[in-house]
Amino acid sequence: MAGTAIQDCEAIPYHTELAQELAAFLPPEHELFAVCVASVLSYRESARRAGFHEDSGLRLTRMPAVLARIRELASEPEERIRRAGIDAEFLMLRNRAANYDLDPQGRSNVELRLKLVMAHARYHGWIVDKKQVSLSFAIRDVAGR
């Protein structure tokens, strides 16, 4: 389905250099939309998950930077697409917490979503908690004793 969605956009002008440069500066909402489309979700569902009105999906794909990012992600392995989604969602949550005056319910929702995103990233091994290792334990492991 992602291949079909991308092929449907072939009539849209695509300026490779400019679009790829702009894709590096996508807002997190646009990045999350691109990730969802590259993950084979419909434009409608991708727009909804990224925080846009569900009827905005086709309009978003007409933006050269977004289209360039969708194409870039579509050529990446599934693991890379998932990591890009985690990064985009993390940035969205951070921006929401920092830039909006949230009531206690809104703040707790952001905190819960952030915990879920972090747990998901840890589960997949994208975030590794550092553990202290004593010097004697490390030496013993190296020596094989």
What does the chain come to in residues? Answer: 145
Residue range 88-132, pLDDT digits in tens: 888 888 888 888 888 888 888 888 888 888 888 888 777 777 765
Global confidence as pTM? 0.66
Average pLDDT over residues 27-32: 90
Rounded to the nearest 10 degrees, the angle between the axes of helix 78-99 and helix 28-38 is 150
Block residue for tokens 């206690």 = 104
Residue 138 DSSP SS3: helix
Summarised one tens digit per residue, pLDDT across range 35-60 is: 999 999 999 999 999 989 999 999 99
Tokens 């695509």, located at residue: 14
For the ranges 15-24, 32-41, 60-69, 116-125, the lowest mean pLDDT is seen at 15-24
> Taking a C-beta distance cutoff of 8 angstroms, is the pair 30, 66 a contact?
yes
- In this prediction, residues 5-9 reach a mean pLDDT of 42
The whole-number pLDDT of residue 2 equals 42
